[in-house]
Amino acid sequence: MFYGIGVWKNLLFTSYNETHIGEPSGLVDLLHSYGYQVHVYTIRNDDLHVTYNQDPYEELDELYNQNIDGYFTDYPESLTKFLDCKYD
C-alpha cells in the first residue's frame, strides 16, 4: 500500500513546452480524490521556465496554489523561505 505519489511538475499542466505553460491539468485533484498525497519534483532555482521570469517563487506559488502536499527540491533554503511566508 502507498499513501502518496511523486509527480513530475510538468504533468500538472495541460501543456508545458518551451514558451508556454497551460492551465492546471487537474491531476492533483484527481489523486487527492483517491486519497493520495502529491509530492512534485524537482523544484530548482535555476533552469526555470521562461514564464516564471527566473523567479523560483513564482513557480512555487503556482504549484502551491494547486494544493501540493510536498516538494522535492535541490534548494531547500528557498523552499523553506517560501513556505515560511505562506504559513505565517
Segments making up each domain of the chain, as ranges: 4-86
Name the one residue in this structure whose C-alpha cell is 500500500: 1
Distance, CA of 47 to CA of 34 (rounded, Å):
32
Supply the DSSP symbol for 11. G
pLDDT, one tens digit per residue, over 19-75 is 899 999 999 999 999 999 999 999 999 988 898 989 999 999 999 999 999 999 999
Whole-structure pTM value:
0.88
